[in-house]
Structures are given as structure tokens and as C-alpha cells.
């Protein structure tokens, strides 16, 4: 614990080094009874002193004892224990006789030292945190407590300080805080994307229906085309938000990372540009991974784009694969990591690098360091979401002017077992007009789906949720060939409705729709094999095609 001139701080001192005569401070106090914060000095037996000395040396926290002088140049160190020597790099001989100022440095809080002195003078004890420095200049964060030692007359003779290095604890707290912030942002992004998907689906659907009816009107067709282009851009943005929120519909498969990166290499080189030399270093004996290869490709290309912008004058981009085991110790120091076998993909550039503030915000949506040109986007945040949803982790290693390395850790395939799911319904139907029960809690979207199906000659029933759908299914006299239902709905969700329908009408097939899948049918964001699913936003043509595919499956 470092203090300035006039700021007393005690460092471990051997009881045998105490002055035989108490050193009296110029501060006078009224006699006080002994307490944990102000223990009175009393004579003890040699056995007690030996036990006390052994306890001080065995303590894992640094202990410092100083004299009671608060005025400049400050208290002198009388004793430090072994933990102090390990923490600071100073030997007992080097520390004894010095003031705690030897531990101070550029980030030591001067205002806190002023408060320290004031508290000791007025209250006789102090608790606080500050940045201190070891003999080699290393920086560490300390939590420390100082108590005064009084003689029988109530005068301060010494100060005892206990210091604890909380550097790693604070780093862990910061990582947890960052993870919570990411989780909050991801939840917000996916929630917005879900609602926006419904709106986009309605906009896109009615735009296509309008275009069909105005096929002979050139001007109307031109307007409809522009609306369609804007909707497509909005759809791409929504998909990026879902990726960051880890709510995409993934279609995973077993893959060899070496083969994947070799296949990606032409696209990587094209995106990097002619001024950047791209090197791919495959790994030896790389294990298989189980993920959506198209999404991994997007994540890698997002990192390549970031590297290109960090090397405007050209440079080197290296992509390296290796197997790695993440230990319990590593997992304890990295929030969200599960110990086990991983494939590591390291993407390293020789660009401008990042400072601490930039590293901490690099995965935030719409964060950018480009002040005058370019626009903020979702590139790195999308890559973050894709990797996390795939069961992996991504970390940044970077320093200003020293380049950047993104390390992606993807679990070996055995860490992500396939979630088998049996298909529903084996009956076949004539691909003519069918009766379809449309279940969607968003009224505009439900009406649009009914309109699309009706125009194709189907008989469309509609319900606002699962409960209403079951009532409709019970009261309707004819066959219901298809249940077209949203996944997430109030009162009863889509998967629950489908299970109820399977006993009520076993011949009815099921087609799910959703902007993201975080319930029932798609567990943990991974689409179960054999499930008929249509991702929002969709076009009328996509609805028609998927309905026919499901009915004929």
C-alpha cells in the first residue's frame, strides 16, 4: 500500500523489531478501550510473540507495520512479512526503514492518500483500494486496511496495514460485467429483430402481392422494386442483429476446419485486397467441428474485413488452425468458457491495433473507430454472435501499432452432440387445394398469410394463438392438412400446439415460422433435423413453396 509524504502506511514488520520504547506520535488521543481497530499494546509471553510472528509470516496477505509518525516524511516501515516481499519484489532489508512511498507510482490515487491520512488522524483506521507498484515497476491493484496501535495512555505508537492483491479479482469482475453487458445488448438486439422481422414480412409480402396485381403498370413496378430493395437491406440488417443476439436459425453439420478454411481462402483473398498478403496455416490432426459452415464463413469474412480496414497501406493477414485443450484454470480466468477440447482459429493482422477502450467495445453493435469516413456496422458483433451461438468463444489480443489477433475457439464435435428428432406425420396428400390452419399472434402477418394461401386456392383457417387454434381444430368438420404456426406466441407456443394437434388430428402436418428459434423446435438455436421451418422475413413465393414441400414430404 503506497502512501505519500505525511500518509502513514504500515508494512509487515517482525514483532521483535518493535522499538523497546513506544514511539509516540504528536497526535494525542483520549484513552480508548482495546478493540479490533485499535488494539492496545501489552506485554506478552515469548510463546505468544513466537506464535504471532509465525502467524504474520504464514499470512497470504501482505502485512506492514510502521511507526506512528504521520507528519512528513511519513511513517517508517518496521516490519514486512514474506507475502509482502513476494508481492512487491522488495526484500525485508530493502523495505525496512523506508516509507510506503516506495510503492507509489503514476496511477496511485493522491486524493485517496489524503483521505487516508485524514481518516487515521480522526478515526484511527482506514479501508481503501489503490494502484501500487512493485520493485520492477509492475502494477497491481490493492485492497488494504490500516489500524492504529495504541499504548496504555491512548497514544498511537504504530500502524498495522493488511494488503491484498485484488488485480485478478477485479479483472474477473470486469469480464463478468462485460459479459453481462453483451448479454443485455444481445437480448435487446434479438428482441428488436424479432419484432422488426414481423414488420418486414408484412412489408415484403404485401409488396410482392401488389407487384403481381400491377404487372402491367411500369411505374408501379418500379416503385415496388425500390421498396423490395430497401426491404432486402433491412432484412440483411435484421439477420445481423439476430446473429449478434445468437437467435439465428442454424443448420449445423460436421466439418473439417482445414477443409473449410481452404474453401474460404479465395473469398478471403478477394476481400482482403491486393495490398494484403494472406497466409493460411492448416493444423495437423485437427478435430471435426459441428456448426453452420455458412455462418462460420461469414464470421471469418467479418474478421478479414476488419483486418483490411486496420491495414489501409497493406500488410499481412495470417489464419492459423490448431487443436487446443482449455483447462479448468483457463476456464476460471475466462468467463463463459467450458474446459475441454477445442479447435482454435487465429486471425492475425499487422495493422494499427487497438487500445484497451477499443478492445472492450469492439464487439458492441454499431461501434466504430472511423470518425470521418465509413459507417458503423455489425461486423464484429455479428462474428461474436455467430461464434457464441456455435458453442464457442472469441477473444481479442491487440495493442496499438502492434496488430490484432482474434482467437476463435470452437468445441470439437463430441462437445455438440446431434439432437435427433423424429419427424411428424407420414400421410401423403394430393397437392391440390388444402385446408391450412394459420396460427400467428401478429394480426397483420396472419392476414397476409391467409391472403397468400387463399390466392393459391387453399382454404385458410386462422387463429391468434395455440388455445384458439385447438378450439378451431375441434370445431372444424373437415380435414386440416397443414398447421402453419409461429414458434413463439402467448398462452400456448407453437411446439406445444403441435403436440396437442398430434393427438387430436394425427394426419395434420406442421410447418413452423419464426424470426428466431429459441424455444421447443429449435433447441439452443440449432435447427433439429427433419423439422419443417420457414424463417422470417419471407416472401409469398417462399410461403407457397414451403407449404407445398411440407405437404408433399
CA atoms of 68 and 252, how far apart (whole Å):
69
- The two beta strands, 276-281 and 253-255, are unpaired
CA atoms of 383 and 386, how far apart (whole Å):
5
Residue 423: its pLDDT value, please? 35
Write out the three cell numbers for 382.
Answer: 455479428
- Return left, alpha or beta for 287; rule: phi > 0 is left, psi -120 to 50 is alpha, else beta: beta
CA atoms of 264 and 105, how far apart (whole Å):
49
Closest among 160, 148, 118 to 7, alpha carbons compared: 118
Q: In the chain, what is the greatest distance between 2 CA atoms, to the nearest angstrom?
A: 108
CA atoms of 336 and 451, how far apart (whole Å):
46
Residue 15: its pLDDT value, please? 36
Residue 299: its pLDDT value, please? 84
Q: Which helix (H) or strand (E) is 439 found in, with range?
A: strand 435-439
- The two beta strands, 276-281 and 393-398, are unpaired
Burial annotation 359-381 (CB, 10 A radius, 16+ → b, else e): bbebbbbeebeeeeeeeebbbbb
Helix, strand or coil, per DSSP, at residue 500: helix
Per-domain boundaries in the chain: 15-165, 170-244, 254-415, 435-552
Beta bridge partner(s), residue 411: 342
Residue 516: its pLDDT value, please? 53
Class of domain 435-552 as given by CATH = alpha beta
Residue 366: its pLDDT value, please? 59
Say if residues 391 and 416 touch (Cβ distance below 8 Å): yes
Closest among 62, 34, 294, 60 to 163, alpha carbons compared: 62
CA atoms of 30 and 38, how far apart (whole Å):
12
Say if residues 461 and 437 touch (Cβ distance below 8 Å): yes
Write out the three cell numbers for 102.
Answer: 516506495
Write out the three cell numbers for 146.
Answer: 490500516
CA atoms of 251 and 274, how far apart (whole Å):
33
What is the pLDDT tens value at each position of the chain, 553 positions in all?
A: 444 333 333 333 333 333 333 333 444 444 433 344 444 444 456 677 777 777 777 777 888 888 888 777 778 888 888 888 888 888 888 888 888 888 888 877 777 777 877 888 888 778 878 888 888 888 888 888 888 888 888 888 888 888 888 877 777 766 666 666 556 555 555 556 666 677 777 777 887 887 788 777 777 878 878 887 777 766 666 665 555 554 555 566 788 899 989 988 998 999 999 999 999 999 888 888 887 777 788 888 889 988 999 999 999 999 999 888 888 777 777 767 888 889 989 999 999 998 888 887 777 765 666 554 444 445 587 778 778 877 888 888 888 888 899 999 998 875 333 333 333 333 333 456 889 999 998 888 898 899 999 988 899 999 999 999 999 999 999 999 999 998 878 889 888 899 999 999 999 999 998 765 444 344 444 456 567 888 777 778 889 889 998 998 7
Residue 417: its pLDDT value, please? 36
pTM (2 d.p.): 0.43
Q: What are phi and psi of 315, to 5 degrees?
A: 165, -155
> Is CATH 2.130.10.10 the classification given to domain 15-165?
no
Measure Cα distances from 42 to 5, 55, 135, 151, 319 in Å: 30, 18, 35, 8, 68
Measure Cα distances from 119 to 7, 81, 125 in Å: 10, 25, 6
Write out the three cell numbers for 353.
Answer: 491495433
CA atoms of 544 and 510, how far apart (whole Å):
14
Residue 243: its pLDDT value, please? 52
> Contacts by 358-363 with C-beta closer than 8 Å and gap 24+?
358/398, 359/396, 359/398, 360/178, 362/396, 363/182, 363/394
Q: Which residues contact 360 (CB under 8 A, 6 or more apart)?
A: 178
Write out the three cell numbers for 489.
Answer: 406466441
Say if residues 114 and 127 touch (Cβ distance below 8 Å): no
CA atoms of 290 and 205, how far apart (whole Å):
34
State which CATH number among 1.20.1600.10, 3.90.550.10, 3.30.565.10, 3.40.50.1370 fits the domain covering 254-415.
Answer: 3.30.565.10
* CA end-to-end span of the chain: 73
Q: Which residues contact 532 (CB under 8 A, 6 or more apart)?
A: 509, 510, 511, 512, 546, 549, 550, 553
Q: Which residues contact 207 (CB under 8 A, 6 or more apart)?
A: 224, 227, 228, 231
**In this structure, what DSSP letter does residue 16 have?**
G
Amino acid at each position: 500500500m503506497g502512501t505519500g509524504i505525511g500518509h502513514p502506511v504500515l508494512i509487515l514488520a517482525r514483532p521483535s523489531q518493535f522499538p523497546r520504547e513506544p514511539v509516540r506520535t504528536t497526535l494525542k488521543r483520549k484513552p480508548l478501550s482495546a478493540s479490533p481497530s485499535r488494539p492496545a499494546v501489552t506485554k506478552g509471553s515469548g510463546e505468544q510473540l513466537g506464535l504471532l510472528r509465525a502467524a504474520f509470516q504464514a499470512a497470504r496477505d501482505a502485512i506492514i507495520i510502521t511507526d506512528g509518525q504521520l507528519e512528513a516524511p511519513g511513517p517508517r516501515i518496521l516490519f514486512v512479512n514474506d507475502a509482502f516481499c513476494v508481492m512487491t519484489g522488495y526484500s525485508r532489508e530493502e523495505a525496512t526503514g523506508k516509507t510506503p512511498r516506495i510503492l507509489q507510482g503514476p496511477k496511485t490515487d493522491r486524493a485517496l492518500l489524503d483521505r487516508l491520512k485524514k481518516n487515521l488522524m480522526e478515526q484511527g483506521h482506514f479501508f481503501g483500494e489503490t494502484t501500487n507498484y512493485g520493485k520492477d515497476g509492475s502494477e497491481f491493484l490493492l485492497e488494504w486496511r490500516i489500524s492504529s496501535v495504541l499504548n496504555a495512555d491512548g497514544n498511537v505508537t504504530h500502524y498495522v496495514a493488511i494488503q491484498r492483491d485484488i488485480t485478478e479479482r477485479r479483472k474477473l469482475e470486469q469480464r463478468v460485467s462485460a459479459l453481462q453487458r453483451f448479454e443485455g445488448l444481445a437480448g435487446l438486439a434479438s428482441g428488436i429483430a424479432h419484432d422488426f422481422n414481423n414488420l418486414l414480412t408484412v412489408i415484403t409480402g404485401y409488396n410482392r402481392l401488389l407487384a403481381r396485381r400491377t404487372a402491367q403498370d411500369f411505374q408501379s413496378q418500379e416503385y415496388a422494386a425500390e421498396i423490395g430493395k430497401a426491404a432486402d437491406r433491412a432484412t440483411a440488417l435484421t439477420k445481423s442483429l439476430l446473429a449478434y443476439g445468437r437467435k439465428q436459425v442454424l443448420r449445423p453439420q460436421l466439418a473439417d476446419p482445414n477443409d473449410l478454411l481452404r474453401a474460404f481462402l479465395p473469398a478471403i483473398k478477394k476481400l482482403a485486397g491486393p495490398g494484403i498478403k494472406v497466409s493460411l496455416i492448416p493444423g495437423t490432426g485437427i478435430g471435426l467441428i459441428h456448426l453452420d459452415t455458412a455462418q462460420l464463413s461469414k464470421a471469418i469474412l467479418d474478421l478479414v474485413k476488419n483486418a483490411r480496414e486496420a491495414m489501409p497501406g497493406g500488410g499481412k493477414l495470417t489464419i492459423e488452425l490448431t487443436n487446443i485443450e482449455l483447462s479448468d484454470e483457463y476456464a476460471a480466468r475466462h468467463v463463459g468458457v467450458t474446459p475441454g477440447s477445442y479447435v482454435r482459429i487465429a486471425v492475425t493482422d499487422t495493422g494499427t491495433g487497438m487500445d484497451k477502450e477499443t478492445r472492450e467495445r469492439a464487439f458492441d453493435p454499431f461501434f466504430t473507430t472511423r470518425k470521418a469516413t465509413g459507417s458503423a456496422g455489425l461486423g464484429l458483433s455479428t462474428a461474436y454472435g455467430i461464434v457464441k451461438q456455435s458453442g464457442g468463444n472469441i477473444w481479442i489480443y491487440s495493442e496499438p501499432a502492434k496488430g490484432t489477433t482474434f482467437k476463435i475457439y470452437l468445441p470439437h464435435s463430441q462437445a455438440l452432440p446431434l439432437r435427433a428428432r423424429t419427424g411428424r406425420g407420414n400421410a401423403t396428400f394430393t397437392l391440390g387445394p388444402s385446408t391450412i390452419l394459420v396460427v400467428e399472434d401478429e394480426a397483420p402477418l396472419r392476414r397476409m398469410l391467409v391472403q397468400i394461401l387463399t390466392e393459391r386456392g387453399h382454404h385458410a383457417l386462422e387463429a391468434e394463438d395455440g388455445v384458439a387454434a385447438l378450439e378451431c381444430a375441434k370445431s372444424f368438420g373437415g380435414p386440416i392438412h397443414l398447421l402453419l404456426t409461429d414458434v413463439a406466441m402467448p398462452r400456448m407456443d407453437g411446439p406445444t400446439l403441435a403436440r396437442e394437434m398430434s393427438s387430436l388430428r394425427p394426419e395434420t402436418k406442421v410447418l413452423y415460422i419464426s424470426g428466431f428459434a429459441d424455444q421447443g423446435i429449435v433447441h439452443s438455436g440449432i435447427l433439429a433435423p427433419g423439422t419443417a421451418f420457414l424463417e422470417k422475413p419471407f416472401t409469398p413465393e417462399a410461403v407457397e413453396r414451403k407449404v407445398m414441400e411440407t405437404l408433399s414430404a
